[in-house]
Amino acid sequence: MADDFQQLQRAVQMAVDRGVTFALDAGFDEARRLSSGTFSLAMLAAMDHPYARRHGKALLDPATINVQTGAFFQHWRTTKQADGGQIRNDDEKADFLKFGTETMVERPIEDEVEAFVASQIEGIIADQIASVFR
């Protein structure tokens, strides 16, 4: 009986770990989706620079980052840790986007990715745990 319980305990822990991995993967995909905006610099200029501070607020979704060189899109990383994980962008532009600049509003893509993962992780882990009992 004790061996059965320990085996079940290990299976549940493995399910939780799988759920965290799946949630990180989903967050990574969401980060990439949000980093796939389609407006070129010329188009943004023609729209009167919709992320400019002078407008008071962004005229387009500030969490959507438009692909220019592709570097920001390519620099998303996930790290799995014992107690969860992290999704981050290590491109040099990440801080400029996160905090804004003198002329550009803050671009809260990291907050959006975090909120997305938070909204999904419980269900993902619950599904993985349920699979242990099927």
**Closest listed residue to residue 18, CA positions, set 80, 77, 78, 76:** 80
**pTM exceeds 0.85:** yes
**Closest listed residue to residue 89, CA positions, set 111, 68, 105:** 111
Residue 9 located in a structural domain = no
- Cα angle vertex 118, ends 23, 111, to 5°? 105
What integer pLDDT is reported at residue 5 of this predicted model? 87
Burial class (CB in 10 A: 0-12, 13-18, 19+), 78: middle
Each residue's pLDDT tens digit, 53-102: 999 999 999 999 999 999 999 999 999 988 789 999 999 999 999 999 99
Q: Provide the mean pLDDT of the chain.
A: 96
Instruction: Show the DSSP H helices in the chain as ranges.
Output: 2-34, 41-46, 71-74, 94-99, 109-132
Mean pLDDT throughout 109-121?
97
What integer pLDDT is reported at residue 4 of this predicted model? 86
The pLDDT-based confidence of 42 (bands split at 50, 70, 90) is: very high
Residue 8 located in a structural domain = no
What integer pLDDT is reported at residue 67 of this predicted model? 97
3-state secondary structure of 108: coil
Question: Considering its fold, how many domains does the chain have in total?
Answer: 1
Domain residues for 123? 19-132
Judge contact between 97 and 65, C-beta under 8 A: yes
User: What are the tokens at 12?
Assistant: 């549940």
